[in-house]
Amino acid sequence: MILYRAHLLWSASPTQLGEAADGALLVDATGRIGASGPFEQIAPHHPGVEIQDLRPLWILPGLIDLHVHLPQYEAVAMDGLELLPWLEVHIFPAEARFANVGVARQAAKCFFADLLALGTTTAVVYSTIHQAATDAAFQEAESSGIRCAMGKVMMDRHAPPALCEDTETSLQQSEELLQQWHGKADGRLLYALAPRFAPMCSPELMRGAGALSDKYDAYLQTHLSENAQELAWVKQLFPDCASYTEVYHRHGMLNARTLLGHGIHLEATERALIREAGASIVHCPSSNAFLQSGVMPLKQWREEGLGLGLGTDVAGGPTLSMWQEMAMACTASKLRSALLHEQAAVAPAEAFHLATRSSAQALGLQSRIGGLEPGLDADFIVVDPRCSDPARRTEEAAELVLSRLLYRADPRMVRATYVRGRRCSALDL
C-alpha cells in the first residue's frame, strides 16, 4: 500500500474536469485505487502508510489509445499519399516484415516502451496476419506491463500475396490466439479480432470474425468509412448493401464490443445501425488529416449518442502521442467549425474525456479504467506541468494546465506511468 501526494486531475464529465489540488491517491497491494481525494481528508484514515510526496507534479488517469497498428510504427510519417496507395507503398511492405518473428519481437519491445513513456496505459492494437508475430507481440505486451487488447489482422482477398490468407486459416489462427491470450494476466491482456476492412475481407471471413467475437466475448476492431476511394470500392464490391456500415451489420460484425476506426463519412442510417448495436467509433484525427481522409464531425456524433473513443492510428497518424492526438481532436474540430460554420469546437477537457472515460466506456471497462476513483485499477501517470509551460508554473487552473499539456506536449513531461499500481515506465522521480 502506498499513498501518492500530488495534484490530481481527472475527467468529471464530457465537458468538465475534476481535481484535488493537494490530493492523495492510495494504491492498495492488489493494484487498485483504495482512496482518492484531498490529502487532508484521506491521509488521517491511513496512518502508517508509506507516503510518496510527488508535489509539484500532477497525477492523471492513464491515457487510452483505442486504435493503433504495431507493425506500422517503423513506417510513420511517410507523407504524400492517400489511404489505398499509402497502404501499398509504405504499409504492406512493413507488415510483411513481421513474417520474421525476431523483427516482430524487437518492434513490439520499442512500441510498448514508447507507448508507456508517453503516458498510454491501455492500447487497442492491430498486429499483422502472422500468428507467431502476434504471439510474440502479446508476450512483449505482457512483460511491459501495459494493458492491451490486440489481434492478428485478418484479410483473405485483394491483399498483396505475401499478406493474403486462406479464410479457414485466418479464422483458425485467430481463434487459437484468442484462446491463448484473451483474459490473460488477470484480464490485462485481451483479444481484439481484426478483420482489416471490408474490401480485403470475404463475406465468410467477416461472418466468422463476428461469430468468434460473440462466442468468446472478445473485441472486434475494423476500419469504416475513412476515404472516398475506399467508399467507392466497398460500393462496387457489395452492391446489395445500402451502405458501408450495412456490410458489417449484415455479416454479424456489429456488437457492443465492436470498435470502428474513423467513421467519417456516415449517413444517418449508418449511425443508427452503429448506435443500435452499441458499437463505438474511434476518432483518429491525426491520421485523417495526414492521409487527407476528412474531418469527422465529432460534436455531432457525440450529440447523437454514438459511442466514441480516440486513437492515434499509427502509422496513419505520425506519432504514438495521445497528447498530440487530443490536441488534434481540438484543432480538427476548430477548422471544421470555422470552415463549415456548423458547430462549436471541441475543448481540451472534451478531448481528455475522449482519451480516458469515453474510450474506457467503448471498451466496456469504465468500472476498471479511465478515472481516479476508489475501486478502479491504479492506471495513472505522473506529469510535470512545468515542462509544457514556458514560465514553469505548477499551480494554475486545471483547464490551463491541461490545455498546455495537450498543445505543448513535451517528451519529458510524463515522469512515470503506472498500470495496476506497477510502475512500467519512469524518468527520475
Residues that bind Zn ion (CB under 5 A): 261, 313
76 and 318 Cβ atoms separated by less than 8 Å = yes
For residues 33 and 264, which CB has a smaller minimum distance to Zn ion in the complex?
264
CB of 261 to Zn ion, least distance (A): 5
CB of 126 to Zn ion, least distance (A): 6
For residues 313 and 384, which CB has a smaller minimum distance to Zn ion in the complex?
313
345 and 331 Cβ atoms separated by less than 8 Å = no
For residues 119 and 261, which CB has a smaller minimum distance to Zn ion in the complex?
261
d(C-alpha 309, C-alpha 280), whole Å: 7
User: What is the H or E stretch that residue 55 is in?
Assistant: strand 50-61
User: What sign has the CA pseudo-torsion 33, 187, 194, 271?
Assistant: negative
d(C-alpha 270, C-alpha 275), whole Å: 9
132 and 101 Cβ atoms separated by less than 8 Å = yes
419 and 146 Cβ atoms separated by less than 8 Å = yes
Q: Which three cell numbers stand for residue 341?
A: 460554420
CB of 106 to Zn ion, least distance (A): 22
The string of DSSP codes covering 71-122 is: GGGGGTT--S--HHHHIIIIIHHHHHGGGSHHHHHHHHHHHHHHHHHTTEEE
Alpha helices in 125-166 (DSSP H): 131-144
Read off the DSSP letter of residue 367. Answer: T
User: What sign has the CA pseudo-torsion 382, 315, 297, 202?
Assistant: negative
Helix (H, G, I), strand (E, B) or coil at 149: strand
CB of 373 to Zn ion, least distance (A): 31
Q: Which of these, 387, 258, 265, 283, lies nearest to 64 by C-alpha position?
A: 283
CB of 224 to Zn ion, least distance (A): 10
For residues 19 and 313, which CB has a smaller minimum distance to Zn ion in the complex?
313
For residues 261 and 385, which CB has a smaller minimum distance to Zn ion in the complex?
261
CB of 311 to Zn ion, least distance (A): 8
Beta pairing class for 17-27 and 2-11: antiparallel
Residue type, 252: G
d(C-alpha 140, C-alpha 178), whole Å: 16
CB of 313 to Zn ion, least distance (A): 4
320 and 314 Cβ atoms separated by less than 8 Å = yes
For residues 196 and 251, which CB has a smaller minimum distance to Zn ion in the complex?
196
The string of DSSP codes covering 249-296 is: HHTT--STTEEEEE--S--HHHHHHHHHHT-EEEE-HHHHHHTT----
d(C-alpha 80, C-alpha 78), whole Å: 7
Read off the DSSP letter of residue 81. Answer: -
For residues 24 and 289, which CB has a smaller minimum distance to Zn ion in the complex?
289
CB of 388 to Zn ion, least distance (A): 28
For residues 3 and 291, which CB has a smaller minimum distance to Zn ion in the complex?
291
CB of 409 to Zn ion, least distance (A): 22
Q: Which residue is nearest to Zn ion (CB)?
A: 313
For residues 83 and 277, which CB has a smaller minimum distance to Zn ion in the complex?
83
For residues 39 and 86, which CB has a smaller minimum distance to Zn ion in the complex?
86
CB of 268 to Zn ion, least distance (A): 25
